[in-house]
Amino acid sequence: MSERIESFRDLRVYSKALELQREIFEVSKAFPKQETYALTDQIRRAARSIGANIAEAWQKRRYPLHFVSKLSDSDGEQAETQHWIQTAFDCDYLPEGTYLRMLEACQEVGRMLGSMMEKPEAFSRRFGKLAEGRGRNAGNR
């Protein structure tokens, strides 16, 4: 079934990125004070950039190369977020369950972004509806 996507807010990948951002913000509140301007700042910044780059990519979807470039930036930010999650776990700031859940969330967002980058034309403004049969990893709902 195809559906019309009116805004980046309608993208499932954007919703997933926001969920991850919120969880990281909440979990990082418990990080030690000495990490405020180091790990806490870095992990929050990287997580926030995932969704921000998706939003920016959506606005540039008329130009497939720009669209893919911004999605690639978003994918890079999710990879950086994975690094900071690993760092927080290695420093004993995250319990294993939280660590694994957040890592899986990053990887899911990465898979969804990869799917979007493989078929940018499906998100182009020139097409009123998204192509049918995008599968569960596509960025649309």
Take residue 75 and report the two structure tokens written for it.
Answer: 């994918």
How buried is residue 50: exposed, middle or buried, by Cβ count under 10 Å (0-12/13-18/19+)?
A: buried
pLDDT at 42: 98
**CA angle, 53 then 54 then 59, to 5°:** 95
Q: How confident is the model at residue 29 (pLDDT cuts 50, 70, 90)?
A: very high
**33 vs 109: CA distance, rounded Å:** 29
Give this prediction's pTM: 0.86
Which residue is listed with tokens 């969880």? 23
Res 2: pLDDT: 59
* All structural domains of the chain: 13-123 (1.20.1440.60)
130, pLDDT greater than 60: no
- Amino acid identity, position 111: R
How does the average pLDDT of the chain come out, rounded? 90
**Which of the residue ranges 15-19, 28-32, 83-87, 135-139 would you say has the lowest mean pLDDT?**
135-139
Residue 124 pLDDT grade (very low, low, confident, very high; cuts 50, 70, 90) = confident
pLDDT tens-digit readout, 62-105: 999 999 999 999 999 999 999 999 999 999 999 999 999 999 99
